[in-house]
Amino acid sequence: MKHVTAPNEGAFYGLTKRELFAALFTAAAIANPDITAPVGTIVSDSITVADRLITALNDPDEDEEDAS
């Protein structure tokens, strides 16, 4: 049985996995001097990337490729 990554499942110090992933992406983008987008754009993009990561982690097709 595959574990499903739920966006609102607890992850770390009371943060949901979605919040933790978005915070990590935001921190990495803000720390990168080559990224000059406004902070609001970085934050909204980080949430989108976090959601896509959770979706990808739950994609059953990925497990089939790893099994070979």
Residues in the chain: 68
- This prediction has a pTM of 0.71
What residues pair up with 10 in beta bridges, in sequence order? Answer: 16
Q: Give the pLDDT band of residue 4 (cuts 50, 70, 90).
A: low
The two structure tokens encoding residue 43: 């934050």
Q: How confident is the model at residue 63 (pLDDT cuts 50, 70, 90)?
A: low
Full DSSP string of 51-62: HHHHHHHT-HHH
Q: Mind listing the pLDDT tens digit for each residue in 5-49?
A: 676 666 667 788 899 999 999 999 999 999 999 999 999 999 999
pLDDT of res. 47? 96
Instruction: Tell me how many degrees the CA angle 66-21-55 measures, rounded to the nearest 5.
Output: 45
Dist CA 54 CA 31 (whole Å):
23
